[in-house]
Chains A and B, each alone.
Chain A
Amino acid sequence: AQSVTQPDIHITVSEGASLELRCNYSYGATPYLFWYVQSPGQGLQLLLKYFSGDTLVQGIKGFEAEFKRSQSSFNLRKPSVHWSDAAEYFCAVGGNAGNMLTFGGGTRLMVKP
């Protein structure tokens, strides 16, 4: 069975500082990986995804993520955080056709002024 672990439940960073959110997955075959962001009271917005090819993927809002097969990780990064980035971030893994998405528990990001 596939699974996703986001080890950090809460992270607080100062505005302008760099950010890395961790995501580790377990899946027996080629994973399809996603990062979604959720602002309070809102739905999930796709930040970026990895299906194949270049292991460093660029997303919206200045985010990027790197797929590392050897570490089963897909960490999300941003070089300079803005106050508007405060939200909940979910990593998710999908697989072959018919496999539903499995979400991690989420990381709540707080941004200090």
Chain B
Amino acid sequence: DAMVIQNPRYQVTQFGKPVTLSCSQTLNHNVMYWYQQKSSQAPKLLFHYYDKDFNNEADTPDNFQSRRPNTSFCFLDIRSPGLGDAAMYLCATSRVAGGPDTQYFGPGTRLTVL
């Protein structure tokens, strides 16, 4: 089945230690998104790629970076995680950005910062 895969499902890091989360997709979608979801809150969009075109949300901290080396893979880098960055990180994909199209989500990576 075509799907969105996130690895690892659970990640523990130390305060200030860089961490990378990964996402891959077999849907061949043009757009990939990264969301942050804190406990009992709605997902918050961090950034998205339309193909190789990177789009950063205005309020996404500089501590968060992303890479998309090819259509299938996208990475979220947190340069210096703080305690406030502990959250579920969701990757999603869609064929186009916006419009009558559906975003498909991966299972998420739960990040714990010690």
Which residues of A line the B interface, CB within 8 A? 32, 34, 36, 41-46, 49, 51-52, 90, 94-101, 103-106, 108
The contact of B97 among A34, A49, A97, A105, by CB within 8 Å, is: A97
**Chain B residues with CB under 8 A of A99:** 98-99
A106 touches B40 (CB 8 A): yes
With A43-B106, A106-B42: A97-B48 Cβ-Cβ less than 8 Å = no
The contact of A100 among B42, B48, B107, by CB within 8 Å, is: B48
A32 touches B99 (CB 8 A): yes
Q: Chain B 70-114, CB within 8 Å of chain A: the 1/0 string? A: 000000000000000000101010001111111111111010000
The contact of A104 among B42, B88, B106, B107, by CB within 8 Å, is: B42
Alpha-carbon gap, A90 to B90, bound state (A)? 14
**Chain A residues with CB under 8 A of B101:** 32, 94
With A100-B48, A105-B42: A42-B108 Cβ-Cβ less than 8 Å = yes
B108 touches A101 (CB 8 A): no
A94 touches B40 (CB 8 A): no
Alpha-carbon gap, A95 to B101, bound state (A)? 10
With A41-B110, A42-B108: A32-B97 Cβ-Cβ less than 8 Å = no
**Chain A residues with CB under 8 A of B108:** 41-43
Check B43 for interface membership: any CB of A closer than 8 A. Answer: yes
Can you name 5 A-B residue pairings with CB atoms under 8 Å?
A32-B99, A43-B106, A96-B99, A97-B98, A101-B103
B43 touches A97 (CB 8 A): no
**Chain A residues with CB under 8 A of B88:** 41
**Chain B residues with CB under 8 A of A103:** 42-43
B99 touches A100 (CB 8 A): no
